[in-house]
Amino acid sequence: MIQMKDYPDKMTAEQARMFRDDVLTIVSQIPRGRVTTYGHIAAWAGWPSHSRMVGRTLRYTPGAEHLPCHRVVNKEGRTAPGWSRQRPLLEAEGVGFKSNGHVDMSRHLWEPSIESNETEFKGHE
């Protein structure tokens, strides 16, 4: 169960389930060699203020480890703290890093088309 106590616009259990499903769908579509952000995923799922919940969803949902979660970074391109395998996984896919250790977002940021966003990610409002 996803904890929601620290979110001002609380979700119902059904909204949390739909959010989880949307997050997993979006992450499954991130192409090799590209990354996206927790914030983008939250916005595409219809809850733009819930970027931290995206991370929790990916960490605590059984089966999420089989998705390309390594392709999700923060808005500056930083990888997840404590996950030493994330950078090598991204580098193996051709993702470049800047000298500060952040993903080069100008080269590797993935944003699905508006049509795809509305059709696939926003059907639950």
Q: What is the mean pLDDT of residues 109-122?
A: 62
Q: Which fold has domain 13-109?
A: Arc Repressor Mutant, subunit A (1.10.10)
What is this structure's pTM?
A: 0.84
- Rounded mean pLDDT of the chain? 87
Contact status, residue 69 vs residue 106, Cβ threshold 8 Å: no
Q: What is the mean pLDDT of residues 99-123?
A: 75
DSSP 63: T
Question: How high is the pLDDT of residue 120?
Answer: 55
Nearest to 36 by CA among 21, 25, 26, 50: 26
What are the beta bridge partners of residue 103? 97
Of 6-15, 47-56, 68-77, give the lowest mean pLDDT range: 6-15
Q: How far apart are CA 76 and CA 116, in angstroms?
A: 24
Q: What is the mean pLDDT of residues 39-62?
A: 95
